Amino acid sequence: MRPARRLLGLALGRRLPRVEGTLRVAGLDAPVTIRRDGFGIPHVEAANGEDAWFALGLCHAQDRAFQLETMVRAARGTLAELVGPDALALDRFSRRLGFRRTAGEALEAQEEVVRAWIDSYVRGVNAGLAAGRTPHELALLRRRPSAWTPADPVAAIRLIGFGLTTNWDAELSRLKVLELDGAEALAAVEPGYPSWLAVTAPPGRAAGEAIDRLAEDVGALRGVVGAGGSNNWAISAERTATGRPLLANDPHLSPTLPAFWYLAHVRTPEWELAGASVVGLPGIHVGHSDVAAWGITNGGADVSDVFLEEMSGDGRSVRDGDGWRECQVVEEEIAVRGGEPVMERVLITPRGPVVTPALGDGLPALSLRADRFRSFDDFRALTTGSPFPPSNLVYADVTGTIGWQFAGLVPRRERGASLLPRPGAEAGGGWSDGFVPAEELPWIVNPDAGFVATANNKPTVDGEGP
C-alpha cells in the first residue's frame, strides 16, 4: 500500500492551501489579512463585513474544495454528472425536492445586507477555487471545480435543513407498521412523549401527561392505506466559580470526513467572531463574539408532512376535495457520466412535490448575524425574525445574562399532528396559512433555576404556548 501511495503522490503532487505570501484576487474593497495558527485555523482581519465573508469563502475553497463540490452538486442534483449512474437516485430525489430550483426566490426574499454577504462569500469561494490547485478527488475524476452562484448557499442550507428534518421518514415508518401489524402495534411502539421526560421551559420540569394524538391520524388513514440529535446549555454566573456564565454546545451530527464544521476567527473594525462555520455558508454558526456566546441544536418541530395523493389518469392532476387540481410539471434533465441523460418529470401539487416531504418556503440563507446583537433582546429580535429551520438557541453574555429561544418557521396546521401520512384530498388535512408568529415562540431569560438546557426535547409543557 505504501508504494502505491508514493506513486499517487508523485502523480498528483501535494495540493495544500497557499498560506504564505500575497494572493491577488478580484472582488475585495480593501486588503485582507489571513493568518493560520498551528492547527491551520484561519484568522481573518478585514475592513468590512463583505470582505470578511469573501475571505471565509476563500478559506473554505482552499481547504475544503471537494466538500464544496459534493455539497453544491447534491443540492443541484448533478452528482451523477460527476460520478456516474450510482448517484442517479440521489439526483432524482434532489431534483424532486427542488433545493436549487426554489433557491432563487428564497434568495430574493432576504434583506439586502444578507444578499450582499452571500454574494461576497460566493465570490470568495470562486476566487479560492480559481487560485488553488484542483483537489485530488476532482483530479482523479478529471473534472474542474464547479463555479458557485449566490443561489447555491441557499440551496445548501435547504439541503442541510432537510437532513435535520426527521419527521417525514418517521411518518413513513409508522405507516409501514400500521400496514403490517395494525393500530394496536403502532400505539405500542409509538407511545407519545413520556410524562417523566423534561421540557426546556421551565428548566427541569416534567412534561406532564401526554395527549394521545395518534388515534385521529390512524382513523383518517384506514380508508386509504393499501403503505440528527444535539444538546446545549448555559449556566448562570451565580452557579459558576468564575462569576461568569458558562455555555456549551454539542451538535450531534453524523461523523464525516472532512468534518461538517470549519473553525474560523473573523474580525473587522466593527465586530469580531470566532467559532464553527459551515462549509458552503457565510457566518459563524456556533461560537462567540466580544459580547456573547451562542449554541444551536435541532428544535425537532414538525415542519414537513407526507401526503397520500390520488393521481388523475393523465398524471397531471391530483384530487383536491371532491374535484381535481392541475399541478405544475417541471422537466429536469440529469446528466449522467458514462450514460445518456435522464429526464425527470417533477409534479408539484398544492401540497408540494410528489413522493417527497414538503419543506415549506423561506429556509435561511445565513445562520446568525452575530455582529448585530449586543444583548439578549437584540438576539431574540434577530433570531425570531429570521427564517431558521426550527432550532433551540442558547445564549450567554458578558453581563451575566443567559437565555433560551426557540426559533424557526413552524407551520400552523388546520388540525391534528402530522404523525402519519394523510390523504392529500382530505379537507383540512394540510397546513393552514402562515406560520406561528415570532412573538409566540417560547423563550426564557435568567430563570430562577440558574440554567437553560436543551437536548432535542419537547420545548414546553402541554397547553403552554403554540
* pLDDT of amino acid 451: 95
Contact 303, 390 (CB under 8 A): yes
* pLDDT of amino acid 15: 72
Question: Has domain 167-194+208-227+304-353 been given CATH number 2.30.120.10?
Answer: yes
Distance CA 48, CA 30 (A): 9
* pLDDT of amino acid 462: 77
| DSSP designation for 106 | H
Distance CA 351, CA 238 (A): 50
* pLDDT of amino acid 159: 81
Higher pLDDT, 193 or 452: 452
Give the sheet arrangement for strand 33-36, strand by strand.
33-36, 42-45, 261-267, 272-278, 286-288, 292-298, 391-397, 402-407, 443-445
Torsion angles phi and psi, residue 336, rounded to 5:
-125, 120
* pLDDT of amino acid 82: 95
User: Across residues 175-198, what is the average pLDDT?
Assistant: 72
Q: What is the pLDDT of residues 343-368, one digit of tens each?
A: 888 888 777 777 543 333 332 222 23
Q: Does the pLDDT of residue 147 top 80, yes or no?
A: yes
* pLDDT of amino acid 433: 61
User: Across residues 142-166, what is the average pLDDT?
Assistant: 85
Highest averaged pLDDT of the listed ranges 97-101, 365-369, 380-384, 429-433: 97-101
Three-state helix/strand/coil letters over 392-429: EEEEEECCCCEEEEEECCCEEECCCCCCCCEECCCCCC
All three cell numbers of 160, joined, read 442541510
Residue 223's pLDDT band (cuts 50, 70, 90):
very low
* pLDDT of amino acid 173: 72
Contact 421, 173 (CB under 8 A): no
% of the chain residues with pLDDT over 70: 76
* pLDDT of amino acid 417: 60
| DSSP designation for 443 | E
* pLDDT of amino acid 168: 60
Contact 282, 70 (CB under 8 A): no
* pLDDT of amino acid 320: 79
Q: Does the pLDDT of residue 252 top 50, yes or no?
A: yes
Selecting among 120, 146, 230, 418, the annotated active-site residue is 230
Q: What is the pLDDT of residues 409-450, one digit of tens each?
A: 787 776 656 666 667 766 555 666 678 888 888 999 999 999
Q: Does the pLDDT of residue 112 top 90, yes or no?
A: no
Q: Does the pLDDT of residue 55 top 50, yes or no?
A: yes
% of the chain residues with pLDDT over 90: 36
Domain boundaries, the chain: 167-194+208-227+304-353
Give the mean pLDDT of the chain: 80
Contact 306, 465 (CB under 8 A): no
* pLDDT of amino acid 218: 36
Collapse the DSSP code of 116 into the 3-class scheme (helix H, G, I; strand E, B; otherwise coil) and give the result.
helix
Contact 48, 27 (CB under 8 A): no
* 192 torsion bin: left (phi>0), alpha (psi -120 to 50), beta (else): left
* pLDDT of amino acid 383: 75
Residue 204's pLDDT band (cuts 50, 70, 90):
low
> At a CB cut-off of 8 Å and minimum separation 6, what does 434 contact?
411, 412
pTM over 0.85: no
Distance CA 406, CA 417 (A): 19
* pLDDT of amino acid 364: 29
Chain-centroid distance of CA 208 in Å reads: 31
Buried b (16+ CB within 10 A) or exposed e, 193-203: beeeebbbbeb
Distance CA 133, CA 66 (A): 11
User: Across residues 332-346, what is the average pLDDT?
Assistant: 89
Q: Is 343 exposed, middle or buried (0-12, 13-18, 19+ CB in 10 A)?
A: exposed
Would residue 230 show up in a list of annotated catalytic residues for this protein? yes
| DSSP designation for 148 | P
Distance CA 220, CA 214 (A): 10
Highest averaged pLDDT of the listed ranges 124-128, 201-205, 341-345: 124-128
Q: Does the pLDDT of residue 190 top 80, yes or no?
A: no
* pLDDT of amino acid 280: 93
Per the DSSP assignment, residues forming a β-bridge with 249 are 232
* pLDDT of amino acid 358: 30
